[in-house]
A and B are shown apart, each in its own frame.
Chain A
Amino acid sequence: MRAVDEGLASCHTCGRVESASHHRCGRCGAALHVRKEASLQRCLAFGFAGILAYIPANVMPIMIVNQLGIEQANTILGGVFTFWRMHAYPVAITIFIASVLIPGLKFVSLGLLCAAAAGKLRLEGRLANTMYYLTELVGRWSMVDVFVVVILAGVIQLGNLMTIQPGGASLAFGLMVILTMLSAHAFDPRLIWDRLNKEPI
């Protein structure tokens, strides 16, 4: 038996189960909804904005290294190749997974979940749960490259010898991570189960 079938809603903030006719939760004061409001629209809007930011994040330089007066712009993929050539394979793989693979998979996963919630695609319920759980879990880890730039720019201030400046991609990348986190957060997995419950067994 679902809460919605009994005319009940569980508060998205504190979890208290109340009559769905209330506008605010009696315990925590948050607005009470049966499902997250405009969940699909917001998830897709943040998702597409994230995809837009993903392009400059990979094309623009993430940092500009100035070594003895010579400027060199580094992109994220360039960094992966540099580490690969240095035979630092674990680092190259870590950066590739965190910066390129995880954001890409997040877009795919959110796209599939939205399609399933909109009834365009049939996803097994528990599989959808796992996909959503993982998408929320790994979201923050893509920020790692932005932090690397902050640390390197902060510590390498060696006058004429070498300095590091943040590039445009650091902002684009940070925005992309924030947007995909907001997108994942806006999605309501209950929508998928609602579809499954409507289908004849």
Chain B
Amino acid sequence: MHQSVSSGWPRAGSVRHRVACEYCDTLHEVLLLPEGKAAHCTNCGKLLYQNRPESLQRAIALGVSVLLLTGLMMFFPFISLDAKGVESRMGIVGAVVHMWEAGSPLVSLAVGLFVLGLPIFLGAGLLFLCLPLSRRRYLPGMEVVMRLLQATEHWVMVEVFFLGALVSLLKLVKLAKVELEIGFWSMAGLMVCLAGALAGIDRLELWDRIEHAKERRER
């Protein structure tokens, strides 16, 4: 039982299952892949689907890490400055609020959404899907959450923000003594976990698992 959950998805290999290439629309039959392998379009070479190893378990672990690290990032300072006795300290939430007060509410909203809101949604959404699915359970609303996850995943910009932080550091070290705080290191970890969470599970696999769990419940 446990073996069959982790190796390959429920119905890959059944004749009814077909997939069309996202780029060139070439039709393929879905074949069962060994773990860690990917299928590519025979016409244009675009990735069709993949069978990621231990996908559900990894998504659960990374989803939990994403939530924990986002929490740390929100509640601890990011960088602190000491310029000849004048001290200043910045947290991510503080920076977003400051942007709002400085007269740029739209920029403030964008940062809040792309760097805080969406990572939280992504972590929570993955857990909402993968925890029940790892026991082949279906919950109402899974389709909606999955659709929202797919629509928002391109907009998560934690790693871009981190590059921005590195560029800022180079400006800041000229002005003052800079201290990197817990928030900074949490973001470094969050960046890795998010990348892993997004790449660790195939979207066709997740949809297939949702459909399978739903049919099982209805039977």
Are A153 and B81 interface neighbours, CB within 8 A?
A: no
Q: Does A134 contact B (CB under 8 A)?
A: no
> How far does the Cβ of B181 sit from chain A's closest Cβ, in whole Å?
11
Q: Does A174 contact B (CB under 8 A)?
A: yes
Are B106 and A190 interface neighbours, CB within 8 A?
A: no
Are B81 and A155 interface neighbours, CB within 8 A?
A: yes
Cβ contacts under 8 Å, A149 to chain B:
107
Are A2 and B25 interface neighbours, CB within 8 A?
A: yes
Report if A171-B23 is in contact (Cβ < 8 Å); known contacts: A155-B172, A159-B86: no
Cβ contacts under 8 Å, B79 to chain A:
151, 155
Cβ contacts under 8 Å, A78 to chain B:
none
Q: Does B103 contact A (CB under 8 A)?
A: yes
Interface size of B by CB at 8 A reads 64
A160's nearest neighbour on chain B, judged by CB, is: B86
Q: Does A143 contact B (CB under 8 A)?
A: yes
CA of A153 to CA of B104, assembled, Å: 11
Are A129 and B46 interface neighbours, CB within 8 A?
A: yes
Report if A10-B107 is in contact (Cβ < 8 Å); known contacts: A151-B90, A193-B44: no
CA of A136 to CA of B176, assembled, Å: 38
Are B157 and A3 interface neighbours, CB within 8 A?
A: no
Q: Does A112 contact B (CB under 8 A)?
A: no
Task: Out of B49, B94, B163, name the residue touching A154 (CB < 8 Å).
Answer: B94
Q: Does B33 contact A (CB under 8 A)?
A: no
> How far does the Cβ of A180 sit from chain B's closest Cβ, in whole Å?
12
Q: Does A22 contact B (CB under 8 A)?
A: no
Q: Does A166 contact B (CB under 8 A)?
A: yes
Are A150 and B114 interface neighbours, CB within 8 A?
A: no
Q: Does A146 contact B (CB under 8 A)?
A: yes
Q: Does A132 contact B (CB under 8 A)?
A: yes
Are B104 and A143 interface neighbours, CB within 8 A?
A: no
B41's nearest neighbour on chain A, judged by CB, is: A129
> How far does the Cβ of B38 sit from chain A's closest Cβ, in whole Å?
15
Report if A17-B44 is in contact (Cβ < 8 Å); known contacts: A4-B25, A153-B99: no
Q: Does A198 contact B (CB under 8 A)?
A: no
Q: Does B146 contact A (CB under 8 A)?
A: yes
A167's nearest neighbour on chain B, judged by CB, is: B104
CA of A162 to CA of B27, assembled, Å: 61
Which chain A residues numbered 159 to 176 have a C-beta less than 8 Å away from chain B? 159, 161-162, 165-166, 170-171, 174
Q: Does A6 contact B (CB under 8 A)?
A: yes
Cβ contacts under 8 Å, B72 to chain A:
none
CA of A83 to CA of B170, assembled, Å: 9
Instruction: Give the segment of B57-65, B124-132, B192-200, B203-211 that binds chain A.
Output: B203-211
> How far does the Cβ of A201 sit from chain B's closest Cβ, in whole Å?
13
CA of A107 to CA of B19, assembled, Å: 31
A8, A14, A27: which has the most chain B beta carbons within 10 Å? A14
Report if A171-B107 is in contact (Cβ < 8 Å); known contacts: A29-B143, A152-B168, A158-B86: yes
B97's nearest neighbour on chain A, judged by CB, is: A154
Are B45 and A129 interface neighbours, CB within 8 A?
A: yes
List A residues at the B interface (Cβ < 8 Å).
1-4, 6, 8-10, 13-17, 27-30, 83, 86, 88, 91, 94-95, 98, 125-126, 129, 132, 136, 139-141, 143-159, 161-162, 165-166, 170-171, 174, 178, 181, 185, 189-190, 193-194
Q: List 24 A-B contacts (CB under 8 A).
A: A1-B27, A8-B20, A8-B27, A10-B20, A14-B146, A15-B49, A17-B19, A17-B27, A28-B207, A86-B174, A91-B170, A129-B45, A139-B154, A141-B163, A146-B111, A147-B111, A150-B95, A150-B108, A151-B168, A156-B88, A181-B154, A190-B22, A190-B23, A194-B25
